[in-house]
Amino acid sequence: MDITILLWLQAFRNGIGAFLAEFMTKMTFLGEINTVLVIMAVIYWCLSKNAGTYLLMGWSGNRIVNGFLKVTACAYRPWIRDARIIPYGNSMTTATGYSFPSGHSMNASSLYGGGAVRKDFSPVLRIALGITVFLVAFSRIFLGVHTPQDILIGIIAGLTVMRLTVELMKWLKDHPEKDTMVMLAGIAAASLVAVYAALKPYPMDYDAAGKLLVDGHKMANDTFKGVGWCIGFLTGWVLEKRYVVFSTDIPMMTRITRCAVGLLGFYVISLICMPLIKNVIPGAAVTVVTCFLQMFYIAYLFPWCITRLEEPKQGGQHPF
pLDDT digits (tens, 9 = 90+) for 39-69: 999 999 999 999 999 999 999 999 999 999 9
pLDDT for 49 equals 96
For the chain, give the percent of residues with pLDDT over 90: 72
Instruction: Report the Cα 252 to chain-centroid distance in Å.
Output: 28
Q: Does pTM surpass 0.75?
A: yes
Range of weakest confidence among 41-45, 228-232, 275-279? 275-279
Task: List the domain boundaries for the chain.
Answer: 2-310
Instruction: Report the Cα 112 to chain-centroid distance in Å.
Output: 12
Confidence band (pLDDT; 50, 70, 90) for 213? Answer: confident
Confidence band (pLDDT; 50, 70, 90) for 122? Answer: confident
Confidence band (pLDDT; 50, 70, 90) for 312? Answer: low
Range of weakest confidence among 149-158, 165-174, 249-258, 305-314? 305-314
pLDDT for 206 equals 85
Confidence band (pLDDT; 50, 70, 90) for 217? Answer: confident
pLDDT for 316 equals 46
- Could you tell me which residue, 315 or 252, shows the higher pLDDT? 252
pLDDT for 320 equals 47
- Could you tell me which residue, 16 or 174, shows the higher pLDDT? 174
